Amino acid sequence: MKVSLSWLQDYVTVDVDVVELAEALTMAGLEVDALSDRYAYLDGVVAGRLVEITPHPDADTLSVCKVDVGAGVKSIVCGASNIKKGDLVPVALPGTQLPSGDTIEAGRIRGRVSEGMLCSEAELTLGTDRSGILVLPESSVPGRGVAAALGLSDTVIEFDLTPNRSDCLSVIGIAREVAAILGVPLNYPEVKLPSGETPIEEFASVTIEVPDHCPRYAARLVTEVHIAPSPFWLRDRLNSVGLRAINNVVDVTNFVLMETGQPLHAFDFDRLAEHRIVVRTAKEGQIFTTLDGTERNLTDEALMICDGKGPVALAGIMGGLESEIEDDTTRVLIESAYFNPITIRRTAKRLGLSTESSHRFERGVDPEGIVRALDRAAQLMVQMGGGKLAAGVIDVYPRPIPERVIELSVDRTNRLLGTGLSRDAIISHLESIEFEVEVLDEDRLKVAPPTCRVDIERPEDLMEEVARLSGYNKIPTTQPVSHVVAKEQEKRLRVRDLLRHVLAGCGFSEIVTYSFIGEDACDRLLLADNDPRRRMVSIVNPLTEELGVMRTSLLPGLLTTMFRNSTQRNENLRIFELGRIFLKTGHDELPEEVEMISGLWTGAKHNSTWNVQEEKLGFYDIKGIVDTLCAALNIPHVSFRALKGPGHPYLRPGHAAEVYSGKKSVGTVGEVTGQVLHNFELKQPAYCLDLNFEEVVCLCFEEIRAKPISRFPATARDIALIVDDAVEAQSVLDFIEGLGQELIDGVEIFDVYKGSPIPARKKSMALRLTYRSFERNLTDSEVNSIHAAVTQKTLRQFKAELPAG
């Protein structure tokens, strides 16, 4: 919403600096977005004194002027005849853009140098006269701006209004606030109408078929109108807020719209069939051409203004091409109505059409301001167009908008705000913005807001008015009295924190990616057709197709992040994300949101350093991260099983495992397949972990019980086994543990070897067993005999052999 200071001053006297006023309005809830100099467009136009005028030698109608523009004398070719030597005139210097859009350039006119242009009043949009050059007052200083020379100064104030303040979508609305803030009176424009002769009812009629959509419709008729350009003051007012002047009738409707906030529509009365207005809804699928020439496809929700034959306007949004005001229009029917805000909003939204009118109707216009605005427009139209007014007004008001009366308690106001305002102070704040207040008793007030304040419904709304007018910053700052005892943080928050810090300790940096991804991510991960992760939640209106569905895995985000980093040559990455995935369920309207923790490791295994051989990153490194996490979170009975089957086609077979706690699967870990890397435009091997955070939270065992530790020393013995290649280390460890030998304190695998001299399809596996007692020192012979027995049983179990020699 834009308002010019000069227009504002038609209704209220502003005796403070405009910057100060803007600040005060902002602090009262009307946020000022920008202040701009109305005449900034005249910056390149300076005053110049004509020092010489000679006829152009090669053109009868032109003369060559020498003009002193302060910084020197310019030669300018000019066609006007109203100027003489010694006059001061506006000079548009090269580079200046005129309101017409033309940019002045230095050049030659009929062979003579011309370094600028002398301008008329109309060319500078300072008036209508285009017959000659504007002559500036004698006091003008050559070289200074023409705006200063003419004493022109105006500021355009641009507001960023909140949607509740429809009352401020007008100059008078803003003026009302200014008056309250500055404590000065608000002067409404005086409306005096000629009495008119023939009653309007003899010409026209209005029927509302759908009063719920159109609670009120008023009209006046002006006859014998002469369509012409508006006078300068009216065009200047419209220009000042960025509206284009069209003709006297249309300009008046726009002027009154801006002045009062009430949208009006002017119909060419002679083009209204049967001279009647019918307000009804459209037929489903009906086509209507709005005055911008666009064919609109309507639904039966759209509210139409019709004449005796058919629709003539899309109510409250835009007029139709057929009944537009034309140059030959002589009789004008002015419409001023109150349309149901929801009706207008639905249609405007559906058509994607937002106009000055629809913007105001959607937010609610003043239901009691309808006729006032109509009268104002009629008065101006008679004035501008030299027309005659038909007597009386048509005002069909089948659904009166009830007046609101709200009871306000002084005590409750002060308690909610935390203030100690007196009853009188509250009353005077409310009255300053035209609220009517009646005192019921010491505490209670009966308040009737002005009808333009459609946002005021409850006592709290009144409290806000009091608060904003007395100043939010004057409300004392207090601390709430607390009866709440601080509670322990929820487990999932603690686990989340721990996970993040353990991973960061392992060198993994956290990333955050968008929750939406491209639908093709599933194809890129090679997911099977029946994979549950293919049942994605899609967005109806995505920003782009690549952000079209809610993610069902964090892996695409990690791989995409790896890609983005690889384009920047960031080749060594350890990253993780902790976030939700979204799985469609058959039974619920909302998807299941599952929190996952996923990580990716690619590139170097260690920080680069000197004199140390770079080791290759492998499966056991990423697995080690999972081991560390499980240990840190105290997850019980962790085991890994080689991944089999089609569930995880993005992990390399034989280089990936499923992670279990007991019988519960917690997630997967492994190497990304070459094909999937290729699908994400990656080349470098990458390893990832993908754990279900919900399971992790459940399994994380927070209670710690210290176990006793033995004070006797341990003795170690090794076993080397030659076993089938298929024998998994875990099974050997599980077997030895299952023997139940109490003196075994620990078992550790310290070497696995394949190749000569070990026979094909066999491997050697070396284990170190630690023996220890809680009661005594163990003797060598005791340990030897137990170890021999364990070795024998293990050999037998795995059909293993001892290495030769």
The stretch among 48-56, 605-613, 662-670, 767-775 that binds other proteins (CB under 8 A) is 605-613
Contact residue for other proteins among 529, 610, 756, 804 (CB under 8 A) = 610
The stretch among 102-110, 307-315, 416-424, 738-746 that binds other proteins (CB under 8 A) is 416-424
In this complex, which beta carbon is closest to other proteins, that of residue 40 or of residue 481?
Answer: 481
How far apart are alpha carbons 169 and 2 in whole angstroms? Answer: 9
All residues at 6 or more sequence positions from 490 whose CB lies less than 8 Å from its CB, including other chains: none
In this complex, which beta carbon is closest to other proteins, that of residue 29 or of residue 311?
Answer: 29
| Sign of the dihedral through C-alpha 162, 167, 172, 175 | negative
Residues numbered 313 to 372 that lie near other proteins (CB under 8 A) are 341-342, 345-346, 362-363
In this complex, which beta carbon is closest to other proteins, that of residue 353 or of residue 747?
Answer: 353
| Residue 551 lies near other proteins (rule: CB under 8 A) | no
The answer to whether the beta carbons of residues 10 and 241 sit under 8 Å apart is no
| Least gap, CB of 488 to other proteins (angstroms) | 9
| Residue 537 lies near other proteins (rule: CB under 8 A) | yes
In this complex, which beta carbon is closest to other proteins, that of residue 606 or of residue 637?
Answer: 606
Give me 783's structure tokens: 């340990």
| Sign of the dihedral through C-alpha 404, 410, 411, 413 | positive
Q: Which residues pair with 579 in a beta bridge?
A: 596
| Sign of the dihedral through C-alpha 519, 521, 524, 525 | negative
The answer to whether the beta carbons of residues 625 and 508 sit under 8 Å apart is yes
| Least gap, CB of 542 to other proteins (angstroms) | 7
| Least gap, CB of 544 to other proteins (angstroms) | 9
How far apart are alpha carbons 567 and 560 in whole angstroms? Answer: 11
Give me 693's structure tokens: 């955070």
Contact residue for other proteins among 38, 74, 165, 220 (CB under 8 A) = 165
| Least gap, CB of 500 to other proteins (angstroms) | 6
In this complex, which beta carbon is closest to other proteins, that of residue 280 or of residue 346?
Answer: 346
Length of the chain: 805
| Least gap, CB of 590 to other proteins (angstroms) | 6
How far apart are alpha carbons 667 and 646 in whole angstroms? Answer: 15
The stretch among 12-20, 23-31, 76-84, 95-103 that binds other proteins (CB under 8 A) is 23-31
Contact residue for other proteins among 419, 770, 784, 797 (CB under 8 A) = 419
- Comparing CA positions, the residue from 433, 436, 434, 460 lying closest to residue 447 is 436
| Residue 641 lies near other proteins (rule: CB under 8 A) | no
| Residue 36 lies near other proteins (rule: CB under 8 A) | no
In this complex, which beta carbon is closest to other proteins, that of residue 293 or of residue 476?
Answer: 476
| Least gap, CB of 330 to other proteins (angstroms) | 39
- DSSP string across 110-122: TTEEE-SEE--TG
In this complex, which beta carbon is closest to other proteins, that of residue 436 or of residue 490?
Answer: 490
In this complex, which beta carbon is closest to other proteins, that of residue 516 or of residue 680?
Answer: 516
Contact residue for other proteins among 98, 550, 554, 689 (CB under 8 A) = 550
| Residue 609 lies near other proteins (rule: CB under 8 A) | yes
In this complex, which beta carbon is closest to other proteins, that of residue 125 or of residue 347?
Answer: 347
| Least gap, CB of 55 to other proteins (angstroms) | 52
How far apart are alpha carbons 534 and 513 in whole angstroms? Answer: 19
Number of other CB atoms surrounding residue 563 within 10 Å: 13
| Residue 27 lies near other proteins (rule: CB under 8 A) | yes
In this complex, which beta carbon is closest to other proteins, that of residue 582 or of residue 650?
Answer: 582
The answer to whether the beta carbons of residues 213 and 343 sit under 8 Å apart is yes
The answer to whether the beta carbons of residues 549 and 538 sit under 8 Å apart is yes
The stretch among 41-49, 161-169, 263-271, 632-640 that binds other proteins (CB under 8 A) is 161-169
| Least gap, CB of 656 to other proteins (angstroms) | 23
Residues numbered 259 to 288 that lie near other proteins (CB under 8 A) are none
What is the DSSP pairing of strand 205-208 with strand 276-281? parallel
Strand blocks (E) in 491-572: 509-510, 516-517, 549-550
How far apart are alpha carbons 475 and 676 in whole angstroms? Answer: 61
CA dihedral 125, 126, 128, 132 (to 10 degrees): -100
In this complex, which beta carbon is closest to other proteins, that of residue 450 or of residue 507?
Answer: 507
In this complex, which beta carbon is closest to other proteins, that of residue 7 or of residue 582?
Answer: 582
Give the 3-state secondary structure of residue 95.
coil
Contact residue for other proteins among 6, 9, 24, 26 (CB under 8 A) = 26
For residue 86, what are the CA distances in angstroms to 51, 66, 147, 548?
Answer: 6, 11, 20, 71
Number of other CB atoms surrounding residue 60 within 10 Å: 7
Contact residue for other proteins among 75, 164, 330, 451 (CB under 8 A) = 164
| Least gap, CB of 156 to other proteins (angstroms) | 17
| Least gap, CB of 256 to other proteins (angstroms) | 22
| Least gap, CB of 464 to other proteins (angstroms) | 3
| Residue 612 lies near other proteins (rule: CB under 8 A) | yes
CA dihedral 135, 136, 139, 140 (to 10 degrees): -120
Give me 27's structure tokens: 């602090």
Number of other CB atoms surrounding residue 503 within 10 Å: 23
- DSSP string across 622-651: HHHHHHHHHHHTT-SSEEEEE--STT-TTE
- Comparing CA positions, the residue from 628, 620, 692, 622 lying closest to residue 660 is 692
| Residue 29 lies near other proteins (rule: CB under 8 A) | yes
How far apart are alpha carbons 186 and 454 in whole angstroms? Answer: 20
CA dihedral 455, 460, 464, 467 (to 10 degrees): 160
| Residue 415 lies near other proteins (rule: CB under 8 A) | yes
| Least gap, CB of 482 to other proteins (angstroms) | 6
| Residue 31 lies near other proteins (rule: CB under 8 A) | yes
In this complex, which beta carbon is closest to other proteins, that of residue 511 or of residue 657?
Answer: 511
For the chain, the straight-line distance linking the first and the last C-alpha, in angstroms and rounded, comes to 96
Residues numbered 564 to 603 that lie near other proteins (CB under 8 A) are 564-565, 568, 570, 573-576, 580, 582, 589-591, 593
CA dihedral 111, 112, 115, 121 (to 10 degrees): -100
How far apart are alpha carbons 245 and 260 in whole angstroms? Answer: 18
How far apart are alpha carbons 4 and 266 in whole angstroms? Answer: 25
| Sign of the dihedral through C-alpha 172, 175, 177, 183 | negative
In this complex, which beta carbon is closest to other proteins, that of residue 526 or of residue 547?
Answer: 547
Give me 280's structure tokens: 């009804």
Q: Which residues pair with 768 in a beta bridge?
A: 718, 748
The stretch among 72-80, 151-159, 398-406, 414-422 that binds other proteins (CB under 8 A) is 414-422
In this complex, which beta carbon is closest to other proteins, that of residue 683 or of residue 705?
Answer: 683
Query: Which 8-state DSSP code applies to residue 55?
Result: E
| Least gap, CB of 549 to other proteins (angstroms) | 10
| Least gap, CB of 589 to other proteins (angstroms) | 6
Residues numbered 476 to 535 that lie near other proteins (CB under 8 A) are 476-487, 489-490, 493, 497, 500-501, 503-516
The stretch among 113-121, 137-145, 160-168, 709-717 that binds other proteins (CB under 8 A) is 160-168
| Least gap, CB of 408 to other proteins (angstroms) | 13
| Least gap, CB of 560 to other proteins (angstroms) | 9
How far apart are alpha carbons 784 and 715 in whole angstroms? Answer: 10
| Least gap, CB of 27 to other proteins (angstroms) | 6
How many residues of this chain interact with other proteins, rule: CB under 8 A? Answer: 91
Site string for other proteins, 441-480 (x = CB under 8 A): -----------------x-xx-xx--xx---xx-xxxxxx
| Least gap, CB of 603 to other proteins (angstroms) | 10
